[in-house]
Structure 1
Amino acid sequence: MNKFKNLTILVVDDHPFTSDAYINLISKKKTDHNYNFLKATNCEKAFKILEIMVNKEKNIDIALLDINLPPYEKEKILSGTDLAILIREKFPKCKIVMLTMHSEHLILNKVYKTVNPEGFISKNDIDFSTFPDIFFRIKDGEKYFSPTINKSFQSLLSNTIKWDEIDTQIIILLEKGIQTKEIPNYIDVSLSSIEKRKANIKRQLADQKITDEELINICKTLKLI
């Protein structure tokens, strides 16, 4: 009996050398997984891989996606972001890692709010020694944003987000397992006000449909708590 688990990883980058580097670094680490790597250099090739996997009822466990990719205009997949949205739809359990050379606040924020990736990495923040550790941390369930990405978000949030000490207290109490309806027992704020604040925080950071647990993780990742 094969004691190793199969892990399917999609790597999409328009520079084949970069894709090969990711694959080699992941493969070198001894784990209890067999790796099945799928590679594409543009949105069209990636789309066709997704179609094949869906038709075969196969899963994609992790996707490493560059933001800037040659588009597939026929299917209106114009970037790695559009590709990530499609992967979320077809493979909801897939962990998505966005990689980029961009540092512009608005571009990064759009990707983050649209995709809510499990990993968001500036290529300037990784090398042959750091990438494997970061990848396996994400694989094992940690949400990871690299320093350049975090710095960009912090700069943007400090100028745009409405946040005060009460918001901090609400998220910290939620993290401790306190239910929303019980929070007025801990801080002098009405339940209706707390619910409005929570909805506003979710709207600013991601989507009002996210769970409290997802909200807490986002706040931790963005270092708001």
Structure 2
Amino acid sequence: MTKPTKLLIVDDHPMVVRGYQITLEQIQPEFLIDFYFSNHCDDVIKKTKEFENDFFELILLDINLPGTESKIITNGEDLGIHLRKKFPNTKIIIQTGLNDMQCISNIFNSIKPEGFLIKSDIDEDVLISSVGSVLNNKTYYSKRVNNLLSPTNFEDIYIDSYNRKILYHLSLGSKMKDLPNFIPLSLPTIERRKKQLKQLLGVEEGSNMELLKIAKSKGFI
């Protein structure tokens, strides 16, 4: 008997999770799927320990997730990076409401997902096609993702996990002098990275508030 594919659907809206499950049940019997669900990062981390020796073959991962209580993982992108490192054979399909070119290209660089869907592109056919393609060892990018990643549009921009943590803790109101308490970098290194972030996001002479505003608008925090 064929072993079922374990699929984990991660989204902070339970109704979205349920809708995806109902839609993806139509993919059977071509693929026999066991469905699992999570609504936040802490539950996914719990599952990494529970299923460590027999982990999920495919994860449908939302980017806009609240971080873990420990603040080590700040959002869905951090979670995807963690999962990619810990379970390199697990396939990941990103689904997000973000559509900023810098954010999309950053997620590609950091997670390298097998599938990438903008939520406004998702309908029944797109969802079924994306999961079917990835389970058949192909990639699948929705229409808007393909447009954003076209040669004329693509920006090779990468904001790594340390830089996102700098943005995250600044957004919580932390002072620069206190950031080494949360991030394993020296204060001069953090200052240099903040300067590079301002250059990258086009607010080179701007305040921290302006940096956070543009970073939030692009989906980095």
The Cα offsets for residues 63-109 of structure 1, whole Å up to 9 and x where unpaired, read as 00001001104151111111111111221111100001111111111
Structure 2 counterpart of 1:134, one-letter code: S
1:59 matched residue in structure 2: 55
Q: Please say if 1:45 is aligned against 2:40.
A: no
1:19 matched residue in structure 2: 17
The structure with the largest helix share of the pair is 1
Structure 1 counterpart of 2:37, one-letter code: K
Task: Report the alpha carbon displacement of residue 33 of structure 1 after superposing the two structures with TM.
Answer: 4.0
Change in CA separation of 1:33 and 1:4 when aligned onto 2, cut-off 3 Å: farther
SS at match of 2:117: strand
Task: Report the alpha carbon displacement of residue 137 of structure 1 after superposing the two structures with TM.
Answer: 1.1
Change in CA separation of 1:36 and 1:75 when aligned onto 2, cut-off 3 Å: farther
Contact 2:98 2:118 in 1 (8 A): yes
Contact 2:130 2:141 in 1 (8 A): no
Choose from 135, 145, 150 the match for 2:146.
150
Cα distance in 2 for residues equivalent to 1:73 and 1:18: 23
Contact 1:98 1:117 in 2 (8 A): yes
Change in CA separation of 1:136 and 1:89 when aligned onto 2, cut-off 3 Å: same
Contact 2:116 2:142 in 1 (8 A): yes
Task: Report the alpha carbon displacement of residue 134 of structure 1 after superposing the two structures with TM.
Answer: 2.1
Task: Report the alpha carbon displacement of residue 160 of structure 1 after superposing the two structures with TM.
Answer: 6.0
Choose from 64, 72, 90 the match for 1:76.
72
Task: Report the alpha carbon displacement of residue 53 of structure 1 after superposing the two structures with TM.
Answer: 0.9
Change in CA separation of 1:160 and 1:72 when aligned onto 2, cut-off 3 Å: closer
TM-score normalised by structure 1 residue count: 0.64
Structure index of larger Rg: 1
| Unpaired segments ≥5 residues, structure 1 | 162-225
Q: Please say if 1:110 is aligned against 2:94.
A: no
- What is the CA RMSD across the aligned residues, in angstroms? 1.8
Structure 1 counterpart of 2:92, one-letter code: I
Identity %, equivalent residues: 28
